[in-house]
Amino acid sequence: MKELNVLLVMPRIVNKVGSGYVFPLGLPYISSSLKQAGFHIFTYNLNHHEGDVRELLEKQIQLHNINAVFTGGMSFQYYPIYELIEAVKSINENIFTLVGGGIITSDPKVAMDALVYADVGVIGEGEITDVEVCNALQSGLSLEEVNGLIIKQENGAYHITAPRKEIEDLDSIPWPDYDGFEVEKSFDQSPGLATLNFKRTLTMLGSRSCPYQCSFCFHTVGKKYRQRNLDDFFAELAYNIEKYQIEYLFLADELFTYSSDRVEEFCRRIKPYHIKWWAQFRVDFLDEWMLELAKDSGCVCWFGTRKCGQSGFKKYGKTHHH
């Protein structure tokens, strides 16, 4: 490609534009990584724009001379992702389409077969992978040299490249590109998830994956549990509070409670901000002291799971309110 112009599109999650939803972080993290690497990146959030998906995308593609479209999400978002990439190919079949997220990672070949119009899928975390994909597209290099991909070949078969290692240092990743996906428009409504009934709710991550292997859970970002440095986390939180005046923090971590020292430090450091927050705990890790500490620091809801027996399985958790 002479000039690579990439459009990152967040699929439409809401049934009606203007409704609340939990703001995803996958594409905003990809966007900030690609922008930091210096590529021509354009972003679009279909959750904030009414109208036919094809017509909306065609305007963006023509406006920015787009020749690659990246999108992604979870398996439950199959249809909006399918609709999105089908629309792109109907506008211009030569536009390169890439899909990432849990929908690909969970079962790459099945997902690619179902999505039909995806040229490439990203298996695992995408921040480094997508930068390397853009380098390859821009330089005319083979995508088969990029780790963490499933590539559709001309004969309909797939080539899966070498596995992508988990990103060890989460602090090396730039903060998510909230503005690129119009996060402020999401503040007008509550996310609509259980107990998330507050406007001005922001999603953040303090860790990735989980050290446990529960039967009902799938780790879309690798098996190795990694945590951000709390200094970096709270620097981002302070920035977001000042910029967006957020009132509620939704911690999207698979597991918040892994170290009691970290939980204690987190609670101590978040309390002065006087915001409410939500997180996922393990019931067998909790005690009255920790619950009181969390409540005192602004935690108004926790979602817990409990380990069952010696098998490593957990029973489904319950949502608890203070």
pLDDT of residue 225: 87
Residues whose CB is less than 8 angstroms from the CB of residue 3 and which lie 6 or more positions away in sequence, other chains included: 40, 65, 67
Reported as a single tens digit per residue, the pLDDT across 78-100 is: 999 999 999 999 999 999 999 99
Reported as a single tens digit per residue, the pLDDT across 136-176 is: 999 999 999 999 999 999 888 999 999 999 999 999 999 99
Question: Tokens standing for 225?
Answer: 């549990």
pLDDT of residue 150: 98
Residues whose CB is less than 8 angstroms from the CB of residue 93 and which lie 6 or more positions away in sequence, other chains included: none
- Asked if residue 249 has pLDDT above 70, the reply is yes
Reported as a single tens digit per residue, the pLDDT across 270-322 is: 999 999 999 988 777 778 888 899 999 999 876 554 443 333 333 333 334 44
Q: How many CA atoms lie within 13 A of 52 on its CB side?
A: 7
3-state secondary structure 146-201: CCCEEEECCCCCEEECCCCCCCCCHHHCCCCCCHHHCHHHHCCCCCCCCCCCCCCE
pLDDT more than 90, % of the chain: 75
CATH number assigned to the domain covering 190-321? 3.30.750.210
Q: Is 238 helix (H, G, I), strand (E, B) or coil?
A: helix
Q: Is 250 helix (H, G, I), strand (E, B) or coil?
A: strand
- Asked if residue 61 has pLDDT above 90, the reply is yes
pTM, full prediction: 0.90
Question: Tokens standing for 284?
Answer: 């067998």
Which amino acid, residue 232?
D
CATH architecture of 5-160: 3-Layer(aba) Sandwich (3.40)
Which amino acid, residue 55?
E
Other CB atoms within 10 A of residue 243 CB: 13
- Asked if residue 7 has pLDDT above 60, the reply is yes
Question: Tokens standing for 85?
Answer: 């990439």
- From CA 53, how far away is CA 41, in angstroms rounded? 20
Other CB atoms within 10 A of residue 163 CB: 11
Q: Is 248 helix (H, G, I), strand (E, B) or coil?
A: strand
How far is the CA of 182 from the CAs of 43, 84, 126, 179, in angstroms? 9, 19, 21, 5
Domain locations along the chain: 5-160, 190-321
Reported as a single tens digit per residue, the pLDDT across 186-203 is: 998 877 665 666 789 999
Question: Tokens standing for 82?
Answer: 């399918």
Q: Say whether 190-321 and 5-160 share the same fold.
A: no
pLDDT of residue 310: 32
Question: Tokens standing for 214?
Answer: 């529960």
- From CA 98, how far away is CA 45, in angstroms rounded? 16
